[in-house]
Structure 1
Amino acid sequence: MQDFDANTPTSAHELAVDCLRTGVEAVLPERVVRESVSLDGNVFAVADTRYDLSAYDRILVVGGGKASDGVADALEEILGDRIDAGVVVTPNPGDGNRIERLPGDHPVPSERGVESTRRLVELLSGLDERTLVLAAITGGASALLPAPADGISLSDLRTTTDELLESGAEIHELNAVRKHLSTLKGGSLVRLASPATVVGLVLSDVVGNDLGVIASGPTAPDETYYDDALDVVDRFELDVPKSVRTRLARGSAGEIPETPKPGDPIFERVDNHILADTFTALDAAREVAEARGYDPLILSSRVRGEAREAAKTHVAVAAEALATGNPLDAPAVVLSGGECTVTVRGDGSGGPNLEFCLAASPELPDGVVLASIDSDGFDGGTDVAGAIVDSASVTHRDANKALATNDALPALAAADAVIETGPTGTNVNDIRVLVVDPSA
């Protein structure tokens, strides 16, 4: 069972944590791969698609992200020595028999990530039509698989990533920039591997499951252009290195080739399969709530926007349920997922889930418990997954003071409201549980 360390003084708190734990367990890569992937003789199946392995001389596994180690474990268990070689890049690499597990860093790319990615790129060189590439594409791979384009240093990439993360830009905007500073993202992994067959095994951490956005879309056509990347830099007034702006400007002027676009023939031998996403986790959490006698509702798996603003909406839903019985009668559990953002205005410690809970706590009605975590176990740049709060956790004064400097973690830690899980080994975005039960 996944380890969750949280203060649970009431049955409502316990239920919230149980829903979170079950949601995370439902999207662990070993579990979802075993449920979706099988081997029967020479027939390798992913969901409803079958691949005749006798048509291939080599099977390679590549990929990256916070869940890629688990995907590699499951593939080794299913395919065994049919796997000829492989490389996955992950923050906490384990040991593999056929697939190398190499280190990288998140959310800002590192030198060791560059070195690990270089090994992956080497493995994809010189492939032919009788090669099958299984690509583990999971959340976090954008940073874990840095492959800076010509003229872009790792330092340039790090500075740009920092600027993007602090700007409040949403993930598709971040990735429009990152794809145009990389030799691997935005469909470029497929370009490297072509004419091999590429099968993407995807765990989505992106609202709407856009394959071009998940991990910056290494196995998907890129619908963004250099102009889009420049627009993000200008609109958010990012202080990026000169080399970054120069490359984007040259690309916009047609001096540098674009990333592969929809309709490019290299994608004719590519299949992408989404094995799990935020809804998978919420659906499992819903079953827990229902089994405990609560009326469950999945509000949305696609909540976006500023964390503190999204918190107000969730507070309103709880208040409405208590006052009018809409959208459902108490006792009830309202579930949501997605990816909120934080526009950094101060130098405090926190993340979107912590800020979400901090903003909500003093506004919550009595009889309501709210918990919110990042499914990977680390909210923002902190070492906690998120928090669990009620109306008594934080006062308006303390919440407003901490929000002013984006310093949610100390305020919630002082209230014994943080949730610690350590690295979960997966990543499908944020999971939130709202328990509405005045009797708990």
Structure 2
Amino acid sequence: KRLAVHTAGHPMPDASSVEAAETVLRLAEACGADDLLIALISGGGTALCTAFVEPIRLEEARETFDLLLRAGAEIHEMNTVRRHLSQVGGGRLARAAAPAEVQALVVSDVVGDDLSVIASGPTVPDPSTCAEARRVLVRYGLWTRVPVSVRAVLEDGERHPERDTSKPGDPAFRRVRTELLGNNRRALAAAAREAERRGYAVAVVADDVTGEAREVAPRQIAEARARAGPGPACLLWGGETTVTVRGQGRGGRNQEWALAAALALDGVSQPVVALSGGTDGRDGPTDAAGAWVSPQTVRRARARQMNPEAFLEDNDAYTFFQRLQQLLQPGPTHTNVMDLQVVLLGTAGPIRA
């Protein structure tokens, strides 16, 4: 009864996100030197709890974030821009709470577990600058396309560094402690234990996968096949790919990875099953976490008069796998530690349940 829950928008912030942020900031600003503020921080916090630097309006921030998503910006680039527009990110929550003691408990959803990137780093110093945020927008050809208010805030931060996010050395961080509770590496370790229990020889290849999903998938499939031994093998990767949206279809990075992997497996004779899934149970604006594929996937699609290449070009992997009943749909897990890619080669023997 003493917990107030604010339901808000994700992956795009909404009016409830702003209301949540304003509530949190009021609570933080009311803290004194004898108070302890506990902050539970995880992926999605940037959208779920955010208010924007004046004069940026919610719809203008949403437009900016949508442009970045569609341009294929990586998560660290997205958050470089986001935290410079936020009244919460970039250490501004810690600044609001000072001189109170702050204990931050963090679940990482970013490659490398950079605390300044997770939920835009509300309780840690921000090593980036408004100039870097501007360069991200320039890099993707968006500087002249984002709202005037966004450009104004970033230009103002360049001219007046004291208005920028909180930086290392700021006294607001003297009483802030941070503990990392979960990350992609721990998810990979759990997956490896389960695969070993099921009789597979396991290799955790990497936990820092990034890049365009349709380009990453064939490389991983080729590596898995090249590393395959005589017995059943399980190769695991973790990280977070991106998708440059050019089509009109539905999907997400994991489903797009799976469609590209299906094309890479077309015609392969050895037994292979591959999947990519988001650990939070949701991939893009869909109800699926990802999808699974085998060497038979493309053949099954063509038998149904479906052109896999056309679905890929239209970024319509969801429709493709929905028709084949190969979506991965575990439902929400309520924990986001990025994505897992699993490639199984050969057949493991039966085990005890």
Q: Tell me the TM-score normalised to structure 1 length.
A: 0.75
* 8 Å Cα contact 2:110-2:118 kept in structure 1: yes
* 8 Å Cα contact 2:111-2:207 kept in structure 1: yes
Q: What's the counterpart of residue 260 of structure 1?
A: 166
Q: Quote the Cα distance in structure 2 between the aligned partners of 1:275 and 1:256.
A: 32
* 8 Å Cα contact 1:190-1:219 kept in structure 2: yes
Range that drifts further, 355-364 or 393-402: 393-402
Range that drifts further, 393-402 or 275-284: 393-402
Q: Output one character per residue of 1:21-79: Cα deviation in whole Å (capped at 9) or x when no partner.
A: xxxxxxxxxxxxxxxxxxxxxxxxxxxxxxxxxxxxxxxxxxxxxxxxxxxxxxxxxxx
Aligned-residue offset at 1:398: 2.3
* Structure 2 counterpart SS, 1:103: coil
* 8 Å Cα contact 1:321-1:330 kept in structure 2: no
Aligned-residue offset at 1:317: 1.7
Aligned-residue offset at 1:229: 0.7
Q: Quote the Cα distance in structure 2 between the aligned partners of 1:107 and 1:321.
A: 37
Q: What's the counterpart of residue 369 of structure 1?
A: 273
Aligned-residue offset at 1:438: 5.4
Q: Quote the Cα distance in structure 1 between the aligned partners of 2:23 and 2:118.
A: 22
Aligned-residue offset at 1:160: 0.6
* 8 Å Cα contact 1:375-1:428 kept in structure 2: yes
Answering whether residue 224 of structure 2 is matched by residue 305 of structure 1, we say: no
Answering whether residue 223 of structure 2 is matched by residue 360 of structure 1, we say: no
Q: What's the counterpart of residue 68 of structure 2?
A: 164
**Aligned match for 1:220, one of 115, 124, 134:** 124
Correspondence 1:140-159 to 2 at 5 A: 140-159=44-63
Q: Output one character per residue of 1:174-203: Cα deviation in whole Å (capped at 9) or x when no partner.
A: 111111111110100100000111111000
Aligned-residue offset at 1:260: 0.7
**Aligned match for 2:311, one of 393, 396, 402:** 402
Q: What's the counterpart of residue 232 of structure 2?
A: 331
Answering whether residue 232 of structure 2 is matched by residue 232 of structure 1, we say: no
Q: What's the counterpart of residue 326 of structure 2?
A: 417
* 8 Å Cα contact 2:199-2:348 kept in structure 1: no
Aligned-residue offset at 1:439: 7.2
Q: Quote the Cα distance in structure 2 between the aligned partners of 1:153 and 1:270.
A: 30
Aligned-residue offset at 1:394: 2.3
Per residue, is there more strand in 1 or in 2? 1
Q: In angstroms, what is the RMSD of aligned CA positions?
A: 1.5
Aligned-residue offset at 1:138: 0.5
Q: Letter of the aligned partner of 1:248 in structure 2?
A: L
Q: Letter of the aligned partner of 1:263 in structure 2?
A: G
Q: Output one character per residue of 1:142-195: Cα deviation in whole Å (capped at 9) or x when no partner.
A: 111121111000011110110111111111111111111111101001000001
Question: How many aligned residue pairs are there?
Answer: 339
* Structure 2 counterpart SS, 1:208: helix
Q: Quote the Cα distance in structure 1 between the aligned partners of 2:206 and 2:224.
A: 15
Aligned-residue offset at 1:111: 0.7
Q: What's the counterpart of residue 202 of structure 1?
A: 106
Q: What's the counterpart of residue 383 of structure 1?
A: 287
Q: Output one character per residue of 1:358-415: Cα deviation in whole Å (capped at 9) or x when no partner.
A: 0001322331101111111110111111111101112588221111111111111111
**Aligned match for 2:242, one of 332, 341, 351:** 341
* 8 Å Cα contact 2:21-2:88 kept in structure 1: no
* 8 Å Cα contact 2:275-2:292 kept in structure 1: yes
Q: Quote the Cα distance in structure 2 between the aligned partners of 1:362 and 1:178.
A: 35
Q: What's the counterpart of residue 192 of structure 2?
A: 286
* Structure 2 counterpart SS, 1:129: coil
Q: Quote the Cα distance in structure 2 between the aligned partners of 1:128 and 1:250.
A: 31
Aligned-residue offset at 1:347: 1.3
**Aligned match for 1:271, one of 177, 181, 197:** 177
Q: State the identity as a percent.
A: 43
Q: What's the counterpart of residue 351 of structure 1?
A: 252
* 8 Å Cα contact 2:200-2:348 kept in structure 1: no
Answering whether residue 6 of structure 2 is matched by residue 105 of structure 1, we say: no
**Aligned match for 1:181, one of 85, 94, 111:** 85
Q: Output one character per residue of 1:96-141: Cα deviation in whole Å (capped at 9) or x when no partner.
A: x332111111011101111122111111123111111110001000
* Structure 1 counterpart SS, 2:240: strand
Q: What's the counterpart of residue 431 of structure 1?
A: 340
* Structure 1 counterpart SS, 2:38: strand
Q: What's the counterpart of residue 93 of structure 1?
A: none
Q: Quote the Cα distance in structure 2 between the aligned partners of 1:147 and 1:414.
A: 40
* 8 Å Cα contact 1:367-1:439 kept in structure 2: no
Q: Letter of the aligned partner of 1:351 in structure 2?
A: G
Q: Quote the Cα distance in structure 2 between the aligned partners of 1:190 and 1:236.
A: 31
Q: Tell me the TM-score normalised to structure 2 length.
A: 0.93
Aligned-residue offset at 1:214: 0.5
Aligned-residue offset at 1:255: 7.1
Q: Letter of the aligned partner of 2:31 in structure 1?
A: L
* Structure 1 counterpart SS, 2:29: coil
Q: Quote the Cα distance in structure 2 between the aligned partners of 1:145 and 1:416.
A: 35
Q: What's the counterpart of residue 50 of structure 1?
A: none
* 8 Å Cα contact 1:362-1:392 kept in structure 2: no
Q: What's the counterpart of residue 18 of structure 2?
A: 114
